[in-house]
């Protein structure tokens, strides 16, 4: 595959995985947009190839734009839209101008957009002083930001304290067999008590009802995973 074919209009699209409140209503909280392509190439492979070709920023911003278009065109909910974004994209000198134009085009996104930053991103990028400035600039549009896959990296707690994210998405590792793993239960209980006052905690990777029910008992209010809903195209 020629990497530049990704910029054809019909090459990439998005599936959307729902996030739900974990309560008796299980109401829709939002969707996470997941990049897909017509050749079924692994999205991570696609991004890595774009990185090697020095067009990662172009692919990432294209993905952001198309995910927003698909979300606003195809759904009537008031839920939030979660978008994965590379830290290098936020630090790119052209990003601020791009994002200004994006929010001028879609003002209805104010308060509904969440940028997910992968927690396993290199520490060198996390320590770039311009990152905090870039995140603060997003606040003028009421954009939230989340640390994704929390628990994968080597300095998770430090990032959660220093960056004060609006949302922390606990890695799916913590959801697997949660109902029978007392150590995971103690960790989530402690984590919720420590961060829950200031930060929304979302548990990813919920695949069994019993794990969801235990998560609810431990104070988790929002969940994501195959038990709650699989990624799919949004219907008009």
Domain range annotation of the chain? 3-224
Residue 119 has a pLDDT of 60
Task: Kindly tell me the burial class for residue 94, based on how many C-beta atoms sit within 10 Å of its own C-beta (0-12, 13-18, 19 or more).
Answer: exposed
| Pairwise CA distance, residues 148 & 168, whole Å | 6
Q: What mean pLDDT comes out for the span 60-82?
A: 88
What is the rounded average pLDDT for all residues in the chain? 90
Q: Under CATH, which number does the domain 3-224 receive?
A: 3.20.20.450
Q: Which long-range contacts (CB under 8 A, 24 or more apart) does 120-127 make?
A: 120/149, 120/152, 120/153, 121/86, 121/87, 121/153, 123/153, 123/154, 123/155, 125/87, 125/88, 125/91, 126/87, 126/155, 126/159, 126/163
Note if the pTM is more than 0.85.
Answer: yes
The Cα 202–Cα 22 span in angstroms is 10
Residues, the chain: 236
Does residue 219 register a pLDDT over 70? yes
* pLDDT greater than 60 at residue 154: no
């Amino acid at each position: 595959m020629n990497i530049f074919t990704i910029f054809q209009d019909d090459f990439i699209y998005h599936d959307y995985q729902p996030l739900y409140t974990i309560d008796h209503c299980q109401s829709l909280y939002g969707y996470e947009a997941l990049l897909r392509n017509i050749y079924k190439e692994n999205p991570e492979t696609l991004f890595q190839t774009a990185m090697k070709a020095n067009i990662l920023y172009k692919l990432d911003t294209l993905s952001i734009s198309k995910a927003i278009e698909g979300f606003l065109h195809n759904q009537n909910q008031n839920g939030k839209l979660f978008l994965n974004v590379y830290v290098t994209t936020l630090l790119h000198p052209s990003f601020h101008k791009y994002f200004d134009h994006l929010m001028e085009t879609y003002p209805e996104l104010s308060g509904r957009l969440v940028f997910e930053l992968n927690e396993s991103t290199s520490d060198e990028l996390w320590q770039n002083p311009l990152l905090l400035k870039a995140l603060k600039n997003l606040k003028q549009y009421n954009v939230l930001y989340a640390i994704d896959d929390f628990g994968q990296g080597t300095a998770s707690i430090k990032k959660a304290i220093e960056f004060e994210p609006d949302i922390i998405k606990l890695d799916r590792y913590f959801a697997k067999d949660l109902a029978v793993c007392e150590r995971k239960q103690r960790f989530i209980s402690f984590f919720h008590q420590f961060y829950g006052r200031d930060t929304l905690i979302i548990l990813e990777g919920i695949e069994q009802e019993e794990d969801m029910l235990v998560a609810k008992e431990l104070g988790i209010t929002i969940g994501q995973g195959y038990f709650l809903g699989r990624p799919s195209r949004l219907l008009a």
